[in-house]
Structure 1
């Protein structure tokens, strides 16, 4: 379950990136930047930083044709028996609240809608692991993703919607060995 929640969150975040690019390219606001930072605390201690202008992502995404990704849209069937599109539509149209809380011996998961965001918090507790995932998806991005029609998510529209957001933290993943952070702001560096 922890892996499924993490995958869905990362997919949602990736889908959000293309939205901001369009607005920046139109010149209505300063270019927005998507940042990914990976800090590895293991012996080699690698540090990865990705700083991507959303305008670039919006232009490049439609050129990628791989598996279910075509023309900036991704075909979604069902993920582990869940109709992702129907699930996102249901979340978008319901009132704020806490939808899922799972507390188990191997981890905890919480899914909620609050203040215009879909929030997912997951924590793994097995074998001494201290893995934690936090995701914040603006609901305007969910709306944009759903604009493609049946069985598709419009990633480019999602990026454009993301670009209209202020500075925001999207994803944080932490464990004993590494930290991954994905966020959006108007700076070209990820200091």
Structure 2
């Protein structure tokens, strides 16, 4: 039994030579019978293997970096046209503003004052700008002001409607008539209806 166990142990520690086929101990570098090197290619050429591993790592790293660089470059390409577009818009707005006569700019500021502080309608603001008893702006300047003012006219109509209800106790029908009247506020029917619909 001892001999059998010894034989198993020895057989587990032995292998065959790749060249001559005779039994040799596992892990030896060369066959004791024919002298053939038993190591695989990579073990026989450790320096070459090390260089090859380094080259592969460098290639993988550079490819990853290239992808990141490409992404950043592409992001910049996307951002750059937008920046150019925004800059061009600002420049165009500035040029357009520079070409506007001072009287037109003054009419726009005055229109904003009337619309924001007195809750006037678009038609009423225009009339005030050109009126002989008002601001006396030329029609071109007044029209420029009306075309370029940024006001929510429906909200102005609502504010004016609330004033009539709160201070004069007017009915909704009377408020509506006053809002659309040529001798009143001169709001459009749509604006007046919005105001009446939103009165509390």
Report which of the two has the higher share of helix. Answer: 2
Q: Could you say which structure has the greater relative contact order, defined with CA pairs below 8 angstroms and 6 or more residues apart?
A: 1
Report which of the two has the higher share of strand. Answer: 1
Q: TM-score, normalised by structure 1?
A: 0.21
Q: TM-score, normalised by structure 2?
A: 0.20
